[in-house]
Structure 1
Amino acid sequence: MDVHPLKTLLQLQLASDSSAVAHLPFTLASLTAASLVPSPHSPKWTARINSLLHAKTSDARWAGLCLAHKTAFLSQAIMIECAQSWIGVALPLLAKKEPSPVHSAAVRLLRVIFSAATEMNEFQRQVATPNVLKFTTALMPLAESHPDVDLKVLILSTLTRLIPLYPTLHRASQNALSSLCFTFLNGNPFKPPNHKLTTAASQLYAVLHLTGGKVGAANLWRKSVDDALAFAWSSFSSLRTTFLVDGRLPLAIAGSNEPLTSIPLNLDRLRCCIAVLNDLFVATVHRPIQVPLGALVKLALALVTCKKDEKTDQHFDATTRTMESAVTPHIWSLGCRLVSSLAASFGPQLTPHLPRLVSCLTIQLEQESISATRLPFLEALRTSLSHGHALYSTMIANRLAKAVLPIASVLIDRRTDARPAEIETGKSKKGKKRARDFEGDEVFRTGHEVVCPTTDDSQALFCAFVVLRLLLRTASLSAALQSIVCRVALSALLALPEMLPSALSPDPQFHSLLLDEVQEICVEFASASVEGLSKSLGLVVGSCSTQGKMSREIELLLHPRLPPLMRSMPGVEALSLFRAEESQEESDLLRSLGLVSADPPTMESQPAMEAEPVASVVPHATLAPPPMSQQPSTPQLPPLAEKPAPIAAAPRTALPPRPPAAQLQQQRAQQPKIAPPAPPATEVAMQVEDDEKNEEMPSIDLDSDSDAE
């Protein structure tokens, strides 16, 4: 017969207080919901926990609190039975001077008790309601005075969880809770910002409007948004005292004359305001509310479009000017966070403001001075395009594509730049050819270049491809830019499998993530037409094997016409994959974007190089040259030069005149008897057809077997 788990723990691990503390991790890991089912050992278990809670040493009390928390979490029946006695022990510990682990364990135990049995009205009336407000009152001074940051974060998150459950009980404590939040959201110029503490305080501030009830919660939410907006404008104006804000200089605020303290303080305040607005956007409100989108977009545009080097005629302090200019990238990042939050929370409602936001982000992305801080702009663009409606402006979409393409073409530049070095080393002197690397020596090289040396570079490259994919879904992108974007995606799809993950990024998982994104772009473009999708079976199967999402790809293969395509995306056959197929607009765009190193060779520069092989192939295709073959065939070729030439086609240039018949026979006799190279398809077909027309009729043998029949 198996021994009950509680009996084993009581006899061995919990035999004494010191043993309970030493074996606490094993005891907590051994507890399960099945072991806490009511049994003859359950009263002994609860009695042992109570004895630990009333122990004289703090470590034994900490062990008792941890065991009580685990028991309450796994067994609601035991928690309801022992809740009143456990509250009587844990709640007074918050007002005593105890170690941080004891306070943390007491807070966790009380949070589980007050939030686990909300569906039981009698338990709420007798146990929870009389003690919740006492618990909140004990937590507020502990959060303000205790030096442990983790304990403060735990207290703030506990209050954030309890206020939505008991909003009416906390109505009288709203002002005290607001003051507690402002303690951590008012900024600190002497310490680096603690993101965990700021996030916990902003989340608590975002639920305080629920204390107004279902009717007053909407008004309190709007008041909180207006207060955060006013505080953000005040902090932003204090950071731009030497720059123009709305065409004028901001007024100096009293007590902010020292830039060494005022600038870090206001930057921290602005960061806290953006965090509060982000949490208010996702807060729960029981009634319809009116969001001040105009004021929010105005603040976001002011943060995003502020300039780093703005010329003014007035004289300013050089130190203040330098420090305010140095924090401008941080202001850009906060503005991009606000734009992303607005787009994620109010995507469809943000449609009237979307063209202006995308235009400002694109203009900033085009600046060379933000090359090191372009990740926030790309993330804001990705969120805006993914949550909002499609752009209807062709100019904005084309400009955005031109700004993002150079970022995404890093992979292509790496492959094309490596080829000239290989060719140059191959053409070096004989002495240099002897200095060859050993096979496999690249494994031991540690100084190789990485495409994305930092995490920000990796995220920027990934966001660039996501933005290009979202732009391809719109109907506003021009045909030339659509072709260029698809060519860049196809080039990246060919380059990534041949590239080591360590050569792409220090993160080994980034290679697979980027490859999945590029494959998704190519699959979406291939699915623009049934004919293109029928030629992309390998690409679709490859995306299934890497991403593991086969439902969409199988649906594309089985029902390629569903759902109907609502975008005007050209088919795969419309791509210009070669220089000869490019239009003039596409060639100009490639040169302006820096995606080509030099101008493509013109047709007039190759006649001397290409005409000789064509002339040497013609004698093998004709038996007897006609007498009119002396004339050049130039008048028939210029109309064909306007069409894009295929890969195997010879250049459409004027051919030299055909030599006489005697010279052709002499050249044919001097040539070695080997198989001639395959002639270009277009020219050879034209010459063979001409020779067949001019060939002499063979003589017919009248005495053949056919006549006898």
Structure 2
Amino acid sequence: MASHPLKSLLQLQLASDTSSILHLSFVLSTLSEDFLLPSPHLQKWTSRVTSLIRSKDVGARWAGICIAYRTSTLSKSTMTEFAQSWAGLALSILTKPEPLPLLNASIRYLRHVLSAAIDVPELQRQLATPTVPKFSQALVSIVEKAADYELKALALGALKDMVILYPSLNRASSSSITAMCHQILNGSAPQRTNNLLLHNTARLYAVLHYTGGKVGAANLWKKSVDETLQCLWAALMGLRTTFPANNNNNNNNNPPSSGPAYDDPVLNIALNLDRLQCSAAALRSLLRTTIQRPVQVPIGRIMEFCLFLLSCTAKEEKEGHVDAAVRALEVAIVPELLSSACDLLCCLAKTVQHRLTPYVSRLVVMITYHLEQKHRPERHCALLQCIQVLLSNSLPPSSELSSTRLVKNILLSLMPLLPTQSDAYSGETGSGQSKKGRKRRRDYESDEVFKLSKDVICSSIAEGNAILCALDALQVAMRGAEMQSAIRSLACRAMLSSSLSLTAMPRSSLSQDVHLHSLVHAKVNRMCLELARGTTSAMSRSLSLVLRSTVTEGNGHTMQTKLQLQQEVDLLLHPRSPPLVRPLPHVEALSLFRAEESNEELAARTSLALATAYDANIMDVVDPIMVTPATEPTPHPVPTHLPMSTPEITAPGPNSILTPVPASQKVTSLITKAPTKTSADILPAISSRQPAKSQLPPSSSQMELMVEPRFIPVVVDDEEEEMPDIDMESDSDG
């Protein structure tokens, strides 16, 4: 007959203190619920655990606390029976200067036992009532005296749980806990407050109102919010000493806890910046916490502070004498103020949601201004996340101008996804081009001729996150917002072009992280699908997008993905479902072809440095003499290539090539009036202008060039042959 598992562990692994420390990991992984069922060996097991906790060896005490924690987790009956004795031993360990592993194990054990005792009235009366106040005071002492940040964070987390579970038992120690939180949230310099310590302190500070009971909790929460706002204003004013003063009533109030001041401006600025970030983290935790009764959130005061942060720029300067060193330091931290404003706005928008709608229009204008400036990818990503959260949790802005300006700036962040003209040239090399076309193209080649490799689009993680944030922001910005039809059409074309270019783009060329390509491609396809679901006619042309969205990469199908795909297919199979109320454009309103592009969309596309396939072909056939300006040209960014399919249209007659067409008749003649002669009729007339060795039909780029209504270049022969006379009265069919 096999022996009991507990008997084997007691005889072998736990035979001595040294073997208990050596085989602790095996004991903890082997122990299970079946081992702790009532048996004669269970009493020996608990006696051995108690002896290990009482041992003089530090390692044995640590092993005993770990085994007691594992035993209490697996068997609640054993925990209830021996919790009072084991908890007393663990509490005595916290009052002594013990090693870090032993302190961590004791805190975890006491937090588990006291949390599990909340639903056992007898255990709560015998264990929790006398132990919780002593445990809270021990945790406060550890936070104030310990040097290890992980131990402090663990103690703060356990203290937060005790305040939530036993608010009345912690009411007497609430003043000491509040003072400890103020000391940490007051900041430090020159070294910043540890992030782990900061977030755990902010979470503890946000639940201290529980100690006031159901009646006083709301007042304590409101008091904490007011004190935090005062600290924010005081820290911000300390960072804007060289800028024009702001007449704000909140600036005259002193913070509840004034920290040390330094004579060195570097330390003062570092201290105020850390105070600002700590107070902002505390305010975000206060907004996310739960309150037993309804309270009034001071949205106006919080928004006043956020708007002031967003209005902080490096261009203003106070009149009079200004210390150059202080000025340089305060200008350098302006991006930090912008990041704090974005984080605070995101939290506020998720908390109050549509109640933030009166401020959305002003916020969109200010954030759009910052998007137009040059920032690091991390700051740019924070701005895009803020826009996405604001528009997702509130109504869209009523101003058409601000929405249009916002979408244009978001599109600029997505330009790296589109292929450049050099990529288009490399893809078309050797594909049916004449020798003369390749010769003219070499006139425009530069250092890229000697470049054998291609740079990665997203060279860092922050740049990849910025692309993902821009896609999310663009999707929300185009959902129900009023904007110019030309910009909406241009955004749809850019998304379709991105979907095409991502399909042919290698994963490694987008980012070193190959999973980023799948995430970006999936987001682009979902956005294209959403833009195509406007009407029944639009959905009937979107079957390919729906089928492409069903192909997933990476982790495979999930239940959420299957449900979403089912809804998308149902929209195609059941066109009589209630129509969508979103003001999405019809597919006829989108200029998917060059001939349908309006002047407004052309101007918007030119301002964004976007080029079509036609523009790329123009560079191949136009002589450099015709496009070179008289003055020195200014450097332009490399325009991005938007691949578009050109509809099959007929070419104009020879008269339209030799005679310029008025600007008012160029577009209408292309759409409403068809030419009388086909392209086959004018081939002899065009080929007669070429040398004898090039009597082949013109390429597609040359044909597209000849039918372009806006610009008709004249092809000049290299050999300067004299043009033969053309008999206009002769029959071309003859």
TM-score by length of 2: 0.79
Query: Residue 358 of structure 1: CA displacement?
Result: 1.6
Alignment of 1:381-392 (within 5 A): 381-392=387-398
Q: Is the 8 A contact 2:421 2:616 kept in 1?
A: no
Tell me the equivalent position of 2:82. Answer: 82
How many angstroms apart in 2 are the aligned matches of 1:357 and 1:26?
A: 58
Q: Is the 8 A contact 1:263 1:323 kept in 2?
A: yes
Tell me the equivalent position of 1:459. Answer: 465
How many angstroms apart in 1 are the aligned matches of 2:26 and 2:610?
A: 61
Which digits, 9 at most, give the CA deviation of each residue in 1:280-302, with x for residues without a partner? 01111011100100000111111
How many angstroms apart in 1 are the aligned matches of 2:202 and 2:326?
A: 30
Amino acid at match of 2:269: I
Amino acid at match of 1:419: A
Tell me the equivalent position of 1:558. Answer: 570
Which residue, 418, 426, 450 being the options, matches 2:423? 418
Amino acid at match of 1:567: R
Q: Is the 8 A contact 1:617 1:676 kept in 2?
A: no
Q: Quote the sequence identity (%).
A: 38
Tell me the equivalent position of 2:42. Answer: 42
Query: Residue 495 of structure 1: CA displacement?
Result: 1.3
Tell me the equivalent position of 1:579. Answer: 594
How many angstroms apart in 1 are the aligned matches of 2:268 and 2:367?
A: 28
Higher relative contact order (CA 8 A, sep 6+): 2
Matched, 1:265 2:271: yes
Shift in CA distance, 141/301, structure 1 to aligned 2, threshold 3 Å: same
TM-score by length of 1: 0.82
Query: Residue 323 of structure 1: CA displacement?
Result: 0.5
Amino acid at match of 2:424: R
Amino acid at match of 2:84: Q
How many angstroms apart in 1 are the aligned matches of 2:20 and 2:679?
A: 101
How many angstroms apart in 2 are the aligned matches of 1:219 and 1:589?
A: 53
Matched, 1:151 2:177: no
How many angstroms apart in 2 are the aligned matches of 1:653 and 1:303?
A: 65
Query: Residue 615 of structure 1: CA displacement?
Result: 9.3
How many angstroms apart in 1 are the aligned matches of 2:614 and 2:681?
A: 33
Which digits, 9 at most, give the CA deviation of each residue in 1:511-566, with x for residues without a partner? 11111111110111122122222222232232222173122222232244545311
Shift in CA distance, 39/169, structure 1 to aligned 2, threshold 3 Å: same
How many angstroms apart in 2 are the aligned matches of 1:191 and 1:174?
A: 28
Matched, 1:73 2:85: no
Q: Is the 8 A contact 2:403 2:481 kept in 1?
A: no
Shift in CA distance, 245/365, structure 1 to aligned 2, threshold 3 Å: farther
How many angstroms apart in 2 are the aligned matches of 1:417 and 1:658?
A: 35
Tell me the equivalent position of 2:312. Answer: 306
How many angstroms apart in 2 are the aligned matches of 1:358 and 1:313?
A: 31
Shift in CA distance, 318/204, structure 1 to aligned 2, threshold 3 Å: same
Amino acid at match of 1:594: A
Tell me the equivalent position of 2:303. Answer: 297
Tell me the equivalent position of 1:698. Answer: none
Q: Is the 8 A contact 2:214 2:293 kept in 1?
A: yes
How many angstroms apart in 1 are the aligned matches of 2:300 and 2:131?
A: 44
Shift in CA distance, 2/354, structure 1 to aligned 2, threshold 3 Å: farther
How many angstroms apart in 2 are the aligned matches of 1:342 and 1:616?
A: 61
Q: Is the 8 A contact 1:634 1:655 kept in 2?
A: no
How many angstroms apart in 1 are the aligned matches of 2:550 and 2:167?
A: 49
Alignment of 1:681-700 (within 5 A): none
Q: Secondary structure at the match of 1:596?
A: strand
Shift in CA distance, 90/554, structure 1 to aligned 2, threshold 3 Å: same
Shift in CA distance, 277/564, structure 1 to aligned 2, threshold 3 Å: farther
Aligned residues: 645
Q: Secondary structure at the match of 2:165?
A: coil
Query: Residue 569 of structure 1: CA displacement?
Result: 0.4
How many angstroms apart in 2 are the aligned matches of 1:423 and 1:210?
A: 69
Query: Residue 597 of structure 1: CA displacement?
Result: 8.2
Shift in CA distance, 654/534, structure 1 to aligned 2, threshold 3 Å: closer
Which digits, 9 at most, give the CA deviation of each residue in 1:459-487, with x for residues without a partner? 11111111111122114122111111111
Ranges in structure 1 where 5+ consecutive residues have no aligned partner: 432-441, 608-612, 619-631, 664-673, 681-709
Amino acid at match of 2:234: S
Query: Residue 655 of structure 1: CA displacement?
Result: 8.4
How many angstroms apart in 1 are the aligned matches of 2:603 and 2:248?
A: 41
Which residue, 538, 542, 554 being the options, matches 1:536? 542
Tell me the equivalent position of 1:437. Answer: none
Query: Residue 11 of structure 1: CA displacement?
Result: 2.6
Which digits, 9 at most, give the CA deviation of each residue in 1:575-618, with x for residues without a partner? 21232211111111111122238995999x999xxxxx979999
Which digits, 9 at most, give the CA deviation of each residue in 1:260-310, with x for residues without a partner? 110000000000011001100111101110010000011111112201122
Shift in CA distance, 524/616, structure 1 to aligned 2, threshold 3 Å: closer
How many angstroms apart in 2 are the aligned matches of 1:362 and 1:486?
A: 20
Q: Which moved more, 1:159-168 or 1:563-572?
A: 563-572
Query: Residue 247 of structure 1: CA displacement?
Result: 6.1
Amino acid at match of 1:331: L
Q: Secondary structure at the match of 2:552?
A: helix
Query: Residue 234 of structure 1: CA displacement?
Result: 0.2
How many angstroms apart in 2 are the aligned matches of 1:2 and 1:324?
A: 75
Tell me the equivalent position of 1:400. Answer: 406
Amino acid at match of 1:32: S
Q: Is the 8 A contact 1:415 1:495 kept in 2?
A: no
Q: Is the 8 A contact 1:232 1:269 kept in 2?
A: yes
How many angstroms apart in 2 are the aligned matches of 1:230 and 1:22?
A: 54
Q: Is the 8 A contact 2:202 2:282 kept in 1?
A: yes
How many angstroms apart in 1 are the aligned matches of 2:659 and 2:612?
A: 35
Query: Residue 641 of structure 1: CA displacement?
Result: 4.7
Query: Residue 654 of structure 1: CA displacement?
Result: 8.7
How many angstroms apart in 2 are the aligned matches of 1:62 and 1:332?
A: 47
Tell me the equivalent position of 1:353. Answer: 359
Q: Secondary structure at the match of 1:196?
A: helix
Tell me the equivalent position of 1:474. Answer: 480
Amino acid at match of 2:370: Q
Q: Secondary structure at the match of 2:610?
A: coil
How many angstroms apart in 2 are the aligned matches of 1:221 and 1:498?
A: 55
How many angstroms apart in 1 are the aligned matches of 2:421 and 2:247?
A: 47
Q: Secondary structure at the match of 2:226?
A: helix
Q: Is the 8 A contact 1:66 1:105 kept in 2?
A: yes
Q: Is the 8 A contact 1:398 1:481 kept in 2?
A: yes
Amino acid at match of 1:574: A
Q: Secondary structure at the match of 2:40?
A: coil
Which residue, 646, 660, 668 being the options, matches 1:642? 668
Query: Residue 60 of structure 1: CA displacement?
Result: 0.4
Shift in CA distance, 615/572, structure 1 to aligned 2, threshold 3 Å: closer
Query: Residue 675 of structure 1: CA displacement?
Result: 13
Tell me the equivalent position of 1:161. Answer: 161
Matched, 1:207 2:207: yes
Shift in CA distance, 315/119, structure 1 to aligned 2, threshold 3 Å: same
Query: Residue 156 of structure 1: CA displacement?
Result: 0.1
Give the CA RMSD over aligned residues: 4.3
Tell me the equivalent position of 1:500. Answer: 506
Q: Is the 8 A contact 1:406 1:595 kept in 2?
A: no
How many angstroms apart in 1 are the aligned matches of 2:425 and 2:616?
A: 17
Shift in CA distance, 461/179, structure 1 to aligned 2, threshold 3 Å: same
